[in-house]
Structures are given as structure tokens and as C-alpha cells.
Amino acid sequence: MKRPAIARWTACVLCGVVLPVSAQTSTEPPPGGWTWRATIYGWFPGINGTTKFEDLPGGGEIAANTNPNSYLSRLQFAFMGTLEARHGPWSVIGDAIYLNFGNHASRINSISGPGGAIEIPTDLGTTTNLEGFVGMLAGGYAIMQTPAARADALAGIRYARLKSSLDWELSGPAGVLPPSGSAERTSNLTDGIVGVRGTFELGGAWYVPWYADAGAGSSRFTWQAMTGIGYHFGWGDLLLAYRHLAYDFDEGGIASNVKFTGPAVAASFRF
């Protein structure tokens, strides 16, 4: 692996601070008063989605698929942060994810003009730049709490701001499109979510964390899920997990769907 790629992997691991999927990793009832948790976290998702751009020169619309395999080599900046506060069975979680990556290899899958669909010319080079922020604020309540397992129900709001730009270079007639050009689009989404999260203790210091939520609002549907394996230490926990976050957009949105899927590592600290 080239040194720049190694540096990006290392930056991802070190720059994150907690995600909601890792915020609960102990089945022991907290003592009186508030307790807090912070986690150094790195998530390495592949990105897959279909982005739509309207109001092109001459009218019409263009849609392109992003190649998920180029994510790490194109990552420019990433920040992930969450803070959890717990008091008895109640908990409050605030989460933020910011990703900025560019020049992803993409493929045009449709072009339409005022008269309808247009035959796609030879694609000599299409890239997509994506900048995104996803924030969540939720409250939770423990619905099960035993020495072997714990589960919280939660409800809250997820906000997303996605900015995507497309650069294309074509060979052959494209109707409403010039042979080369660019387009840009931004969407702001606010969705209500409900979910559950918890842990299963496996014996010794090993445990299995899990998380799932779903919601809707500005988007047609959004959901995420996580599971993994963790280990308790006196100072906190270590976790290896796999996470999936997906958006299904309404007609006329920035995309038909966007999916973030990949492994994650975390070191959690209690205070």
C-alpha cells in the first residue's frame, strides 16, 4: 500500500470521536448522577449511490453511479464525533459525521432532455466529488438491563447535508450536454428516527454490541445497522464492528439512494 493511502487510513482511525453505534458497551447499571462516554473511532465505508443533476445547460437531467472502490484513495478529510450522557435508565446521544472526498470514478447511467431519454455517448471520464455532514441527536431509555444483556429504545432526529458535483468528458453527441462540463447540487435532509441498541455479554470480558434505527421525513426512508465484537478493559473498551447507513430519497432529490457500508474500529473511554 502506498504511503498516502496508509496516512489516510491512520487519519480516519485517529480523527473520529465516538459514533452512536459504539456508545453503549457495558451492561453494568451506572452509579448515581451522570456518566459519560467518549470513543476514538474510525469507520471505513465504501460509498455507493446514484446522483442526479438537473437544470443542465440546454435543460435536462443526468444521473451517475459512484464507484465505491475508490473511497480511501480519494478521501480528503473525515471527522466523526459522538458524546453520550447517561443517568439511570435515561441516555442522551449527540453524533456528527463529516466526510469530504473527491474525484471518485463514476459512470453515467442516464441522460434526459426536454424530449425524454437520450442515448448515452462514450464516457471518456466521469468523476464525482461528495461532501457530506450527518448529525444525530437522540434520547434513549433502558428497556432491558441484566448482567448478561442490555437494550435501549431510542428516538431522535437525524440531519444530513449532502453536496455533490459531477465532472464529465464524453465522446459523441449527447444532445443537451456539451462534450465536457460539470454540475453541482446540494440537499438538506431532516428525518425523525426510532431505534434500539444494546449488548450481549459472552463471558470473560468479551461482548457483542448491536444497533439499528430507521426513519423518514425529508428523505423517503433512512436506516442504519451495526454489529461487531468488543472487549472490556478497566479503562474502557475496544471494538471491531461493521456498519451500514443508507438513504432512499424522494423523487426529485439529489439522488435515488446513497449507501455507506464498511468496517469500523473503536477505543471507548468512560468518565
Residues spanned by the domain of 19 = 3-270
pTM for the full model? 0.75
- Give percent of the chain with pLDDT exceeding 70: 61
| CA gap 190, 106 in Å, rounded | 27
The CATH number linked to 166 is 2.40.128.100
Q: Do 182 and 165 form a contact (C-beta atoms < 8 A)?
A: yes
Torsion 262-224-240-40 (CA) sign: positive
pLDDT of residue 96: 82
d(CA 63, CA 68): 16
Region 21-35: what's the mean pLDDT?
A: 56
198/25 Cα distance (integer angstroms) = 8
In order, the DSSP letters of 154-196 are EEEEEEEEEEEEEEEEEES-BTTB-SEEEEEEEEEEEEEEEEE
Q: Count of domains in the chain?
A: 1
Side chain identity at 30, as an amino acid letter?
A: P
Whether pLDDT at 207 is above 60: yes
173-189 mean pLDDT:
71
Coil, strand, or helix at residue 29?
coil
Residue 125, C-alpha cell as written in the block:
471520464
3-25 tens-digit pLDDT: 444 334 333 433 333 344 444 44
Residue with the three cell numbers 437522540 = 138
Q: What is the mean pLDDT of the chain?
A: 74
Condensed to tens digits (0 to 9), the pLDDT of residues 124-150 reads 567 777 778 888 999 999 999 898 999
